[in-house]
Amino acid sequence: MLETIDLRKVYPTGDEALTGVSTTVDGNEIVAMIGPSGAGKSTFIRCINRLTEPTDGEIRLDGSELTALGESEMKAARRNIGMVFQEYNLVERLTVMENVLSGRLGYVSNWAALRRKFPPEDVERAYDVLETVGLDGMENKRADELSGGQRQRVGIARAVVQEPKILLADEPTSSLDPESSHAVMELLADIAAEEDIPIIINIHEVPLAVEYADRILGLHDGELVFDGPTDGLDENAKDVIYRGADASETTNEAVAKTRTDNNAISEQAADKPTAAGD
């Protein structure tokens, strides 16, 4: 179970990316986090495994408080958190198998890492996971020979081979075409069920989120403005997530303001698929 309590992040520039986010993710639910660009979605996900250091608040994974851990303890804790990235972030010159096995690095010695020598059960698990993600037979291809969709599958395999307690996915579909996007979302949903772990997915495309997620988290300006089952995401909730709380006011002034905001947002939305994340 992942629990965040009043999670806050202020960047050195003074930007408050998260204003105190509290939520709980449990079981094998698929949680989609939506919100406009710059709302803090990436920051939230990256704070969980402390690739970005949170300013304030607590993060607990199965009871242990991640925010209190020292550097080496945090390294050990990261083994329990799988992460999938927008740009796949594979080591392009290494083979698919080496990339997948890098998910086991936290369990082997430095010397073994140098010689690429992993225990046989790790290699077996890597083969299994490659089959799960549909890349069986590709283990000796170099990562840079693969297509975008295939690379993201390697990225997912690397996270799954960790046998994590939770999976984080930061815009896993933003660099992919619609068809591959659906395939990747389906794969993530299968993995949540099969591995019995929760998944938090940052995502720009609301329809994809609605189609695959059990629950939606809506961020606006670093504030958690929506947290509920996917069915509860009506037009009003989307307004609040994408336009801010005052969009629901109905005075003439507010409507006029919403209109101008609206334009700004649809422009932003048009930019989103090409933007390199938040």
Partner 1 sequence: MATEDGAAEIPYDGSRWQRPTAFRNRKVKWAAYIGAALFVLWSIVSLLSGVTISRVVYGLGNGFLLVESMFPPETSTVNLERVGVYMAETIAMAFVATFTGVLISLPIAVGAAENLAPWPLYYLNRGIISITRAIDELIIAIIAVKAVGVGPLAGIIAISYLTIGFFSKLFAEDIEDIDMGAKEAVEATGASRFQTFVYAVIPQVAPRFVGLTVYRWDINIRASTIIGIVGAGGIGTLLMRSFNRYEYDFAGTILIAIIVVVLAGELFSAYVRRRVQ
Positions touching partner 1 (CB under 8 A) are 49, 51, 75-79, 81-83, 85, 87-94, 98, 102-106, 108, 110, 113-114, 155, 158-159, 162
What span, in angstroms and rounded, lies between the C-alpha atoms of 35 and 222?
A: 9
What span, in angstroms and rounded, lies between the C-alpha atoms of 100 and 131?
A: 12
**Closest CB to partner 1 among residues 31, 77:** 77
Q: How many CB atoms lie within 10 A of CB 85?
A: 20
Dihedral of CA atoms 107, 110, 112, 114 in degrees, nearest 10, equals 130
**Closest CB to partner 1 among residues 49, 258:** 49
DSSP-derived pairing of the beta strands 64-65 and 56-61: antiparallel
**Closest CB to partner 1 among residues 109, 236:** 109
Least distance from C-beta 270 to partner 1, angstroms? Answer: 25
**Closest CB to partner 1 among residues 50, 60:** 50
Report CA-CA distances (Å) from 118 to 64, 77, 92, 136, 158.
Answer: 28, 20, 20, 19, 14
DSSP-derived pairing of the beta strands 166-170 and 81-84: parallel
Least distance from C-beta 174 to partner 1, angstroms? Answer: 14
Question: What is the H or E stretch that residue 114 is in?
Answer: helix 110-115
**Contact 206/234 with Cβ under 8 angstroms?**
no
**Closest CB to partner 1 among residues 74, 206:** 74
Least distance from C-beta 187 to partner 1, angstroms? Answer: 18
Least distance from C-beta 39 to partner 1, angstroms? Answer: 21
| Helices of type H across 119-205 | 120-132, 148-160, 178-195
Least distance from C-beta 190 to partner 1, angstroms? Answer: 21
Tokens representing residue 158 in the block: 């690397």
Residue type at 46?
Answer: R
**Closest CB to partner 1 among residues 156, 247:** 156
**Contact 243/226 with Cβ under 8 angstroms?**
no
Least distance from C-beta 154 to partner 1, angstroms? Answer: 11
